[in-house]
Structure 1
Amino acid sequence: MTRPRIAFVTPGAFPLPSPNGGSVERVVEKLVPRLVPTIDATIYGRSGRSLARSGMLNGARCIRYPGADKRKYMAHVQSSLMRLEPDIIEVENRPIYVLRLKKRRPRSRVWLHLHSSTFISGKAITRRHLERSFALAERIIVNSEFLRDDVIRRVPWAACKVSVVYPGVDLARFPSQHTPEGAARRHALRAARGWEGRSVVMFLGRLIPIKGVHHLLRILPRLIEQHPSVLLVIVGGAFYGSSRTTAYTRMLQRLGAKYRNHVKFVPYVPHTEVSDWFIAADIAVVPSANREAFGLVNVEAMSSGLPVVATRAGGMKEIIEDGVTGFLVSPEFVEYELEQRLLELLRSEDLRLFMGLKSRERVENAFTWEHSAQRWLALLRESGFEQV
């Protein structure tokens, strides 16, 4: 049986694989190899210093081109696609690329996989071009019901094309702190970092206003007053793989400087190290604003056995079960409710244990990369490839 040839065109922003890459590249890197037993996969991405022009990525062919000039990058991809002649081309998170591909290859079957609302906004693409790209795409995959609703709100007639494929987490890469092995790793990390006797609240992500880190620093004095052992650990930077600062990050540092014994800033860490930060924490907090379409950190923290306190916003309310795997707080009263829910968890080890175990259970049942692959392959079967 001949496997269908599928080409995955990433934005060209980061190399694959890359520990410092963005979430789009991470999803492709984790999802596509799990499709390989069924499909013949080729991934297009940005070249990197230590990466060959072409090679294999866990069973998927990976072809790399310079990505600084996006038009040149797409010209290289177009030329390669002429030779490859894939059955389907999946464009990752760039609807404008759909227009460019279909202009050169009008008969190609093109899917669009959206990972956020950023590149369907008016700042990124005109309404005419957005509607045209949706019209030319055979299928539109999104990563949450929230993003599905956003797409349909912008282009209502595209509703019949939109399907949800949730991202996932690698359970082995993100072990639970509630297993003997995870508990041992947690103990060693906390000892090495001097966290014994501390109640660690963990934020991990980009330091940009939409992620809401300033809310945590504003409520920190009241958390300290009520729970003196609290330690807020903020892991990340303003840019992927960079230590460059911004006015916002400098403002966060000024806020945190008043409470040096209770807040620790950790510069951006590669994804390979993320699990070691979550497994050593007690609570994860994700105070993002409404645009957060999914948030991989939510399922990564949950896989590590942590309760998650997040805003009732975007796709996060599809992941976190309020009162079971963590708490959802109102965006309108985010600081007051964050404070109340964090204190509730800080004061109760039993509640943290209950929610942490439930978090891991929910991830195992719904949010693994294997679940993602099965959903994606179901869409392929619906598209006429019954043999898969």
Structure 2
Amino acid sequence: MEILKVAFVTPGAYAVPSPRGGPVERVVEKVVPLLASSVEARIYGRTARGLPKRERWNGADCIRYPAADKSAYAERVLRSLAAYRPDIIQVENRPLLVRKIRRRMPGARIWLSLHSTTFISPPYLGPKMTRACLRMADRILVNSEYLASQVRARAPETADKIRVNHLGVETDRFGVLDPDAERHRRGWGDRRIVMYVGRLIPRKGVHHLLAAMPRLIRDVPNVLLVIVGSAFYGSSYRTPYVKRLHKMAKPFAKHVHFQPYVSHLEIPGWFAMAHAAAVPSDEREAFGLVNVEAMASGVPVVAARSGGIVEIVEDGVTGFLVEREHLTQGLADRLSQLLRDDPLRERMGRMGRERALSRFTWAHTAQRWLEEAGIVAQHRP
């Protein structure tokens, strides 16, 4: 049987692999090696210090180009694709690049893997161009039913091209550390810890979480809110919004700890410390990897009822979903409930890990991709 040649084109924002990369590159980094025994895989990405311009990595060929100039990066990828002539070209989260490839290679089989609504919305793309780019893809892979609905709303004629493939988690890294040991290592052995992990940007809703702290401190005097993340991947720069968050936290500084950006490799240790995870994102959250990472860690999640989160967190079973109209009050109520009720918290933590193991692993994601490509998983010599 002839092996399919598949090219995965990342945006050029970060290298693959990279512990400081964004979620798009992380998905490629985790899924492609699981496909490499069944396809001839090639990853296009940006150069980075310590990484060669070309190498064989985890069964895939990695080709890296400088990406400071996005147009030059795209042009180099296009020339390489034209010479390589893959059976499938999968473009990661950049609909405009689908249009460029289609114009250069009219007969190519092009899949668009969308990770969010960001690049199918203004100011990145207007409605007319979004629809044109989506129509040029042969397949549109999305990570949630919510994101599928957003694509259909923008280009109804693409409905039969859309496939939902939920993302995963590394279950061999999350949920394997000793929570007590991790807390004591930080000097937090006597604290009840609420964990937020993610970017510090307005739509992630951290201000709602901080607004809930006075009530939470009253109910749980030893509570500690740990905020892990920065405004940008790989940077600790304080934007006006980040400064606002620090100002909000100042009256109860003993109950809030800010941890600037850390590598994704360190995240399992932070979730291991948590008694509960908070995800107060707005309605544009397409999936939210932190939800499955918390669940895989055995940590119940209190999240906004928004976007694709409702497909991950099972309300009342693996955590709680809070209505956005009453987000601050709901966060305070549900987090307080979990921190004061050990049997409930432990039961939800167990159910969350079981759900993550049974539905949200990278192996599941890779298997669904192979099925969509019409490939029976095989092991190549």
Q: Aligned AA for 1:66?
A: P
* Matching residue of 2:192: 199
Question: Quick check: 1:42 aligned with 2:42?
Answer: yes
* Matching residue of 2:281: 288
Tell me, what secondary structure is at the counterpart of 2:298? coil
CA distance in 2, matches of 1:75, 1:293: 29
| Sequence identity percentage | 52
* Matching residue of 2:16: 16
Tell me, what secondary structure is at the counterpart of 1:261? helix
CA distance in 1, matches of 2:213, 2:95: 41
Alpha-carbon offset, residue 186 of structure 1: 2.0
* Matching residue of 1:98: 98
Does the 8 Å CA contact 2:204/2:281 hold for their aligned counterparts? Answer: yes
CA distance in 2, matches of 1:122, 1:151: 14
Question: Quick check: 1:244 aligned with 2:237?
Answer: yes
CA distance in 2, matches of 1:130, 1:266: 37
CA distance in 2, matches of 1:286, 1:356: 15
Q: Which runs of 5+ in 1 are unaligned?
A: 177-181
Q: Aligned AA for 1:356?
A: G
Tell me, what secondary structure is at the counterpart of 1:232? strand
Give the TM-score of the pair, scaled to structure 1. 0.96
Give the TM-score of the pair, scaled to structure 2. 0.97
Alpha-carbon offset, residue 386 of structure 1: 6.8
Does the 8 Å CA contact 2:140/2:162 hold for their aligned counterparts? Answer: yes
Tell me, what secondary structure is at the counterpart of 1:102? helix
Q: Aligned AA for 2:19?
A: P
Q: Give the alignment partner of residue 299 of structure 1, picking from 286, 292, 296.
A: 292
* Matching residue of 1:224: 217
Q: Aligned AA for 1:18?
A: S
Tell me, what secondary structure is at the counterpart of 1:32? helix
**Aligned CA distance change for structure 1 residues 226 and 54 (closer, same or farther; 3 Å):** same
Does the 8 Å CA contact 2:367/2:377 hold for their aligned counterparts? Answer: no
* Matching residue of 1:135: 135
Moved more, 217-226 or 202-211: 217-226
* Matching residue of 1:79: 79
CA distance in 1, matches of 2:32, 2:182: 32
CA distance in 2, matches of 1:64, 1:173: 28
* Matching residue of 1:179: none
Question: Quick check: 1:332 aligned with 2:325?
Answer: yes
Tell me, what secondary structure is at the counterpart of 1:125? coil
CA distance in 1, matches of 2:97, 2:323: 36
Moved more, 317-326 or 52-61: 52-61
CA distance in 2, matches of 1:151, 1:135: 11
Q: Aligned AA for 1:193?
A: R
* Matching residue of 2:249: 256
Does the 8 Å CA contact 2:370/2:377 hold for their aligned counterparts? Answer: no
Q: Which runs of 5+ in 2 are unaligned?
A: none
Alpha-carbon offset, residue 387 of structure 1: 8.6
Tell me, what secondary structure is at the counterpart of 2:307? coil
Q: How does 1:24-173 map to 2 (within 5 A)?
A: 24-173=24-173
CA distance in 1, matches of 2:296, 2:265: 15
CA distance in 1, matches of 2:250, 2:237: 19
Give structure 1 regions of 4+ aligned residues with deviation exceeding 3 angstroms. Answer: 385-388
Cα deviations across residues 202-248 of structure 1 (Å, max 9, x unaligned)?
A: 00100001001011111101111111010000000000000111000
Q: Aligned AA for 2:332?
A: E
Does the 8 Å CA contact 2:249/2:256 hold for their aligned counterparts? Answer: yes
Q: Aligned AA for 1:72?
A: A
**Aligned CA distance change for structure 1 residues 196 and 386 (closer, same or farther; 3 Å):** closer
Q: Give the alignment partner of residue 215 of structure 1, picking from 198, 208, 225.
A: 208
CA distance in 1, matches of 2:258, 2:285: 23
Q: Give the alignment partner of residue 276 of structure 1, picking from 269, 274, 289.
A: 269
* Matching residue of 2:351: 358
Cα deviations across residues 322-363 of structure 1 (Å, max 9, x unaligned)?
A: 000000000111011111111110110111100000000000
Q: Give the alignment partner of residue 337 of structure 2, picking from 326, 339, 344.
A: 344
Alpha-carbon offset, residue 56 of structure 1: 2.2
Cα deviations across residues 57-113 of structure 1 (Å, max 9, x unaligned)?
A: 211111000111111001110111122110010000000000111111111110000
CA distance in 1, matches of 2:333, 2:376: 51
| Aligned residue pairs, count | 378
Tell me, what secondary structure is at the counterpart of 1:175? coil
